[in-house]
A and B are shown apart, each in its own frame.
Chain A
């Protein structure tokens, strides 16, 4: 029997270092491991490097062998470049006013044509900054389908234009498609209430969900919200947790009685409750062993231009704080292995879990999760024997820091092993297996 072929639409894929890349990598790895032929449709390195300045070339090494990557260009820039004479043709170069006159006179006709050809935002009745990516993706997908028949299209969002691309591709080729929500589209991640979307966009989501074979979410609260919103499609809603990469978990540090190392890793954003954390740290460190440090590693912001603003808010080393800069994926285990306590500062409520919380839970050492009561990440830590939750309030964080410090000082290697065993259900190969099962069931050729 022919190997099943998955077309995976993932706008953020290496060398992008966006937070969604890890789930995309894990998804392609899981399908590849399960025997699927995987073709990933993503955008160009030029976009990641030049337009958003958000790349980590080391991630390219983690693209699974045998996975084909098709890069479809995208740019936020629009309009025609008019200043370069060498780009102009003979007619325009010699008679620019006649050229412009002709262009203006045929503008409406060309606009209609662009709508029909899917090259206009009006071609897709929804609001998204990535709409112009849809048509080229559909074209690339059809080309792939013509060369090697696709059995299933899976799209991950955001950007949610990927979902519309999957829907259009499914409609044109007759191939079933599924969508994987890394974040909810029509719900506000922080409040859990409805997001501010216009009616056409809400209709677009409803249409996509109606036609999708399966809908996948990163946690149960989001899936429940979608079940309530789309009761007729409630059976399609599934949960595939983010999980952690086993490669990120190395040998744990053994506490030797000296200073304690608290640390956090991830892309730092202004949504992190860093103010209360730093205030709590300055108060709590008086009660910690001398020279204890709070270490932070990771990129500052998702984009190159957000770095300086965040850097200015960080305390200096006299406060017992160290910013260590970005850490390549291959060095993540070493960073975690040098910590006694891991800190996960987060925002939002039940819908926010983040991938970092699974990684932190899998380490087996004490974890402090700073998020509101009932937050998604704190729920992940419910079964963690050394999980310390705190709201973004200095008093609660101080309490968590001192509790975690005490636990770290008393921690034995067998405790770490026991906790790792307990948390192994969050290991990525386990969680992603569910993704493969869902898609396999939704693929008529493979369904039992």
Chain B
């Protein structure tokens, strides 16, 4: 078993070896739990895991991408590719939350890139802006995540063997899973990975 973490834009599709399962890890706590269960099950069965992770929770002193999976036993490997930062950079999120901090310095940073300014005026403006765009952002978030992941998925489709399963873990990853299911038509899809 091996476990590696990489930002989405640094993922090398060629490094994915068969058999592998594609997990859209979701952005909710439940989705993250579900993704962990699926990853554990796949590793136990000797299936490699590519986990595209956008989980929101922050871990003190850790980049959010680096969420360790406990109790991994088996011969499969896990590659976690985080897209949280890229998602924050999308237009709608920039409108909702402001631009990501310039000084974000990659996976090793322990700074919160979304920390707001202390200015009252700015806070009021941010509150108004958030109210305005947040609902729209929520409603379209799943689709925006898919647009974000699409180039990666297409590269995977071109240069990697077919996955054995596509797992989507919450409502926000349904669009990604839905499109992936159309790209790999023969591959079974589900909310959890279960060994056959």
Residues of A within 8 A of B (CB): 83-86, 88, 92-98, 100-101
Residues of A within 8 A of B179 (CB): 93
Tell me, in angstroms, the Cα distance from A85 to B179 when the chains sit together.
Answer: 9
Tell me, in angstroms, the Cα distance from A95 to B168 when the chains sit together.
Answer: 14
Apart from A86-B181, A86-B189, A96-B171, list 9 A-B contacts with CB within 8 A: A85-B168, A85-B181, A85-B189, A88-B178, A94-B178, A95-B140, A97-B138, A97-B171, A98-B139
Q: Are A85 and B171 in contact (CB under 8 A)?
A: no
Is the C-beta of B191 less than 8 angstroms from some C-beta in chain A? yes
Is the C-beta of B76 less than 8 angstroms from some C-beta in chain A? no
Closest to B181 in A: A85
Residues of B within 8 A of A98 (CB): 139
Q: Are A100 and B190 in contact (CB under 8 A)?
A: no
Supply 14 A–B pairs (Cβ within 8 Å), ascending by A. A83-B190, A84-B190, A85-B189, A88-B178, A93-B174, A93-B179, A94-B175, A95-B142, A95-B143, A95-B175, A96-B172, A96-B174, A97-B141, A100-B171
Is the C-beta of B82 less than 8 angstroms from some C-beta in chain A? no
Residues of A within 8 A of B140 (CB): 95
Closest 8 CB pairs of A and B: A93-B178, A96-B174, A85-B189, A85-B181, A96-B171, A94-B175, A85-B178, A94-B143
Closest CB-CB distance, B70 to chain A, in whole Å?
A: 26
Residues of B within 8 A of A95 (CB): 139-140, 142-143, 175
Closest CB-CB distance, B35 to chain A, in whole Å?
A: 15
Q: Are B191 and A96 in contact (CB under 8 A)?
A: no
Closest CB-CB distance, B142 to chain A, in whole Å?
A: 6
Residues of A within 8 A of B139 (CB): 95, 97-98, 101
Closest CB-CB distance, A214 to chain B, in whole Å?
A: 53
Tell me, in angstroms, the Cα distance from A394 to B177 when the chains sit together.
Answer: 66
Task: Find residues 152-196 in chain B having any chain A CB closer than 8 Å to their own CB.
Answer: 166, 168, 171-172, 174-175, 177-179, 181, 189-191
Tell me, in angstroms, the Cα distance from A98 to B190 when the chains sit together.
Answer: 21
Tell me, in angstroms, the Cα distance from A44 to B131 when the chains sit together.
Answer: 53
Closest to A100 in B: B171
Tell me, in angstroms, the Cα distance from A101 to B174 when the chains sit together.
Answer: 15
Tell me, in angstroms, the Cα distance from A52 to B181 when the chains sit together.
Answer: 33
Residues of B within 8 A of A83 (CB): 190-191
Q: Are A96 and B189 in contact (CB under 8 A)?
A: no
Residues of A within 8 A of B175 (CB): 93-96
Residues of B within 8 A of A93 (CB): 174-175, 178-179
Tell me, in angstroms, the Cα distance from A88 to B176 when the chains sit together.
Answer: 13
Closest to B138 in A: A97
Q: A-side binding surface: helix, strand, loop or mixed?
A: helix
Closest to B171 in A: A96
Tell me, in angstroms, the Cα distance from A100 to B142 when the chains sit together.
Answer: 13
Residues of B within 8 A of A100 (CB): 171
Known: A97-B138, A97-B139, A97-B142. Contact between A88 and B174, CB under 8 A? yes
Closest CB-CB distance, B176 to chain A, in whole Å?
A: 10
Closest to A97 in B: B139
Residues of A within 8 A of B138 (CB): 97
Q: Are B181 and A96 in contact (CB under 8 A)?
A: no
Closest to A90 in B: B178
Residues of B within 8 A of A85 (CB): 166, 168, 174, 177-178, 181, 189
Tell me, in angstroms, the Cα distance from A93 to B189 when the chains sit together.
Answer: 13
Closest CB-CB distance, A59 to chain B, in whole Å?
A: 35
Residues of A within 8 A of B178 (CB): 85, 88, 93-94
Tell me, in angstroms, the Cα distance from A56 to B168 when the chains sit together.
Answer: 41
Residues of A within 8 A of B166 (CB): 85
Tell me, in angstroms, the Cα distance from A93 to B166 when the chains sit together.
Answer: 15
Tell me, in angstroms, the Cα distance from A92 to B181 when the chains sit together.
Answer: 14
Tell me, in angstroms, the Cα distance from A92 to B138 when the chains sit together.
Answer: 15
Chain B 76-90 per-residue mask, 1 if CB under 8 angstroms from chain A, else 0: 000000000000000
Residues of A within 8 A of B168 (CB): 85
Closest CB-CB distance, B84 to chain A, in whole Å?
A: 19
Closest CB-CB distance, A85 to chain B, in whole Å?
A: 4
Task: Find residues 14-54 in chain B having any chain A CB closer than 8 Å to their own CB.
Answer: none
Tell me, in angstroms, the Cα distance from A97 to B142 when the chains sit together.
Answer: 8
Closest CB-CB distance, A44 to chain B, in whole Å?
A: 26
Tell me, in angstroms, the Cα distance from A100 to B172 when the chains sit together.
Answer: 12
Tell me, in angstroms, the Cα distance from A94 to B141 when the chains sit together.
Answer: 10
Residues of A within 8 A of B146 (CB): 94
Chain B 107-144 per-residue mask, 1 if CB under 8 angstroms from chain A, else 0: 00000000000000000000000000000001111110
Closest CB-CB distance, B93 to chain A, in whole Å?
A: 16
Closest to B191 in A: A83
Closest CB-CB distance, B145 to chain A, in whole Å?
A: 11
Tell me, in angstroms, the Cα distance from A96 to B179 when the chains sit together.
Answer: 13
Closest to B168 in A: A85
Residue from A83, A93, A94, A100 with most neighbouring chain B CB atoms (10 Å)? A93
Residues of A within 8 A of B174 (CB): 85, 88, 92-93, 96
Residues of A within 8 A of B190 (CB): 83-84
Closest to A89 in B: B178
Tell me, in angstroms, the Cα distance from A84 to B166 when the chains sit together.
Answer: 11
Tell me, in angstroms, the Cα distance from A95 to B138 when the chains sit together.
Answer: 10
Tell me, in angstroms, the Cα distance from A83 to B189 when the chains sit together.
Answer: 8
Closest CB-CB distance, A250 to chain B, in whole Å?
A: 49
Residues of A within 8 A of B191 (CB): 83
Tell me, in angstroms, the Cα distance from A101 to B143 when the chains sit together.
Answer: 15
Closest CB-CB distance, B56 to chain A, in whole Å?
A: 16
Tell me, in angstroms, the Cα distance from A57 to B178 when the chains sit together.
Answer: 41
Residues of A within 8 A of B142 (CB): 94-97
Tell me, in angstroms, the Cα distance from A98 to B139 when the chains sit together.
Answer: 6
Tell me, in angstroms, the Cα distance from A98 to B137 when the chains sit together.
Answer: 11
Closest to B174 in A: A96
Tell me, in angstroms, the Cα distance from A430 to B70 when the chains sit together.
Answer: 74
Closest CB-CB distance, A83 to chain B, in whole Å?
A: 5
Residues of A within 8 A of B143 (CB): 94-95
